Amino acid sequence: MHQRLAALLRKEYLQFFRDRALIYIVLYVFTIEIYVAGTGFNIEVRNYPTAVYDRDNTQWSVQLAEKFRLPYFRVTHLVHSDPEMEALLDQGTVSLVLVIPYGFARDLAEKNHAAVQAIADGTLSNTALLAMGYASQIAQEFALELGERLGRVVPGTEHLGPQVQLKPRVAYNPNQKAEWFASLIELFSVITLVAILLPAAAMVREKERGTIEQLLVTPITPVEIMLAKVISMASIVLVASALSLFLVIYPIFGLPWRGNLLLYTVATALYVFSATGVGLLIATVCRTLPQTILFLLMVIPPILFLSGSWTPEEALPTGMRMVTYLSPLKYYLTIAYGILLKGAGFWQLWQHFVGLTVLGLLLFGFCALRFRRYFG
């Protein structure tokens, strides 16, 4: 068993390292691709295109409008009529219109209370929500500033009356650096992609070229063929992901050193093994590379999307939420984030480890079964 497996493993590594193009692609996706994704991803509200419809046109209304400025809002238009405002929103030229009604300053002076409207283009609902939140905050700050200027409020909070001061603290990522999130998400996606694709392609290639038949006539068992593929490809993915952590994510994006890297490596190994299991499973079904690609196209996006990486699982309908338990990435994502970002230890994550292991074993066992039946 050892000698045969060793011979096969040597073959797998030789073949991988002979394929220059493949090496470059793997290196690229594990370094440059992760760097690009880490810097390029930004879903925050920045430069939100805004128009101001000032019907009051007083000193105070102008001052309020001036508070809408970069980096959040970029005021590009001053509108003077309803149709004009509608046209701007319709055509998507601006995404927010601040409407200051007639009598704004008068109300503020007399009743101490005035209302303005923030009309957002709700098409992209998540950014619209954030923008409306910022608009409220700006208006509130302006009101306080005005109160101080008018001498109605003495600087300092005591005289404002009772009030709950919310002190939000964003844990693990206090400055809300999108690079950490984006680069890690990209790393996990790339691990998934490569760990499924590499063994699937390697296996289907042997089927297409007929070399698999040559192997099956020898005393090698199907499980040995499978193990050779899994061990070689998994080890390559592990080394590549270490490269991306130590060459890109830690040094360039300055991810803080938290958590136990050994534990992380164990989790990654577990995950990569189950992902290669998925890849080999696909290889037992598909006969040609084009088929494999179509199949992967149907398998990989759900694994990515249903892991909670892009969409918060809490927001999914119940049925969909049950489906997420089938995505091995879901467990791995929680574990990897837990270790790398939150510095969690094994005992805080053991349930997810159990989930990952069980799912991995199931996938692996099913794959071995298929292999035995298919090639045996």
Partner 1 sequence: MATATLNPASPVISVQNLSKAYRRQPAVREVSFELERGEVFGLLGPDGAGKSSIIQMLTGVLTKTQGEARVAGQDVFADPEAVKAHIGYMPQGLGLNLYDSLTVDENIDFFGDLREVSPSTFERNKAELLQITRLDKFRERPAGQLSGGMRQKLALCCTLIHLPELIFLDEPTTGVDPISRRDFWMIINRLVVEQETTVFLTTSYLDEAERCHRVALLHQGRIIAQGIPAELMSQASTEAQGQPRSLEEVFIQALEPESDAKAAPVIPLEELAPPLDLEDAAPAIRVEALTKKFGRFTAVDQVSFEVKTGETFGFLGPNGAGKTTVIKMLTGILPPTGGRALIAGLELRAARQRIKAELGYMSQKFSLYGDLTVTENLRLYGGIYRMAAADLERRIPEILAMADLEGREDQFAQGLPLGIRQRLALGCAILHRPRLVFLDEPTSGVDPRARRKFWQIIGQLAASGVTILVSTHYMDEAQHCQRLALMHQGRLVAVGSPEDLRQQAEAATGRILDVGSPAFREAFLLLQEHFPQAALHGSRIHIPSQQPDQDRERIQQLLNQARLPVAQILDSPLSMEDTFIHFIQAAAPESGNDL
Partner 2 sequence: MIFNRRLQSVFLKEIKEIYRDKIYLAMALVVPVILMILFGFGLTMDVKNIPTAVLDQNRSPQSREYVARVTRSRYFTLENYLTEVSPIDQELTEGKIRLGLIIPPNFDRTLALGQASEVQALIDGAFPDRAATIRSYLEAINLEFNQELTSRWHLATGQTVPWIEVETRAWFNSDLESKNFIVPGLLVTNLFFYPALLASIAVVREKESGSIFNIYCSPIRRWEYVTGKLLPYWGIGLINYVMIYLLSDFLFDVPFRGSFLFLTLAAAIYLGASTSLGLLMSILFKTQVAAMLITTVATMIPAFIYSGFFIAVNSMGPEAQFMAYILPATYFMELVRGVYLKGLGLQVYWPNLLVLLLFAAGFLSLCIHKLQKRVG
Q: Give residues in contact with partner 1 (CB under 8 A).
A: 3-4, 6-8, 10-11, 14-15, 18-19, 209-211, 213-220
What does DSSP assign to residue 102?
T
Indicate whether 334 belongs to the interface with partner 2 (CB under 8 A).
yes
Question: What is the closest distance, in whole angstroms, from the C-beta atom of residue 221 to partner 1 in the complex?
Answer: 8
For 308: left if phi > 0, alpha if psi spans -120 to 50, otherwise beta; the answer is left
7 binds, among partner 1, partner 2, none (CB under 5 to 8 A by kind): partner 1
Indicate whether 112 belongs to the interface with partner 2 (CB under 8 A).
yes
Indicate whether 103 belongs to the interface with partner 2 (CB under 8 A).
no
Question: What is the closest distance, in whole angstroms, from the C-beta atom of residue 231 to partner 2 in the complex?
Answer: 26
Q: Can you tell me the distance from the alpha carbon of 249 to that of 245, in angstroms, rounded to the nearest whole number? A: 5
Sequence-separated (6 or more) residues with CB below 8 Å from residue 67: 138, 139, 141, 142
Indicate whether 133 belongs to the interface with partner 2 (CB under 8 A).
yes
Which residue, 301, 238, 299, is CA-closest to 273?
Answer: 238
Cβ 23 vs Cβ 194: under 8 Å: no
Which residue, 248, 267, 249, 277, is CA-closest to 363?
Answer: 277
Binding mask 200-219 for partner 2 (x = CB under 8 A): --------------------
Q: Which residues pair with 54 in a beta bridge?
A: 100
Nearer to partner 1, 168 or 219 (CB): 219
> Positive or negative CA dihedral for 69, 72, 77, 82?
negative
Q: Which residues pair with 99 in a beta bridge?
A: 53, 117
Nearer to partner 2, 184 or 367 (CB): 184
Question: What is the closest distance, in whole angstroms, from the C-beta atom of residue 216 to partner 2 in the complex?
Answer: 24
- Give me the phi and psi of 51, to 5 degrees please: -120, 150
Nearer to partner 2, 83 or 301 (CB): 301
Question: What is the closest distance, in whole angstroms, from the C-beta atom of residue 184 to partner 2 in the complex?
Answer: 8
Question: What is the closest distance, in whole angstroms, from the C-beta atom of residue 296 to partner 1 in the complex?
Answer: 23
Nearer to partner 2, 262 or 298 (CB): 298
Indicate whether 47 belongs to the interface with partner 2 (CB under 8 A).
yes
Q: Which of residues 289-308 bind partner 2 (CB under 8 A)?
A: 289-290, 293-294, 297-298, 301-302, 305-306
Q: Can you tell me the distance from the alpha carbon of 353 to that of 346, in angstroms, rounded to the nearest whole number? A: 8
Nearer to partner 2, 80 or 149 (CB): 149
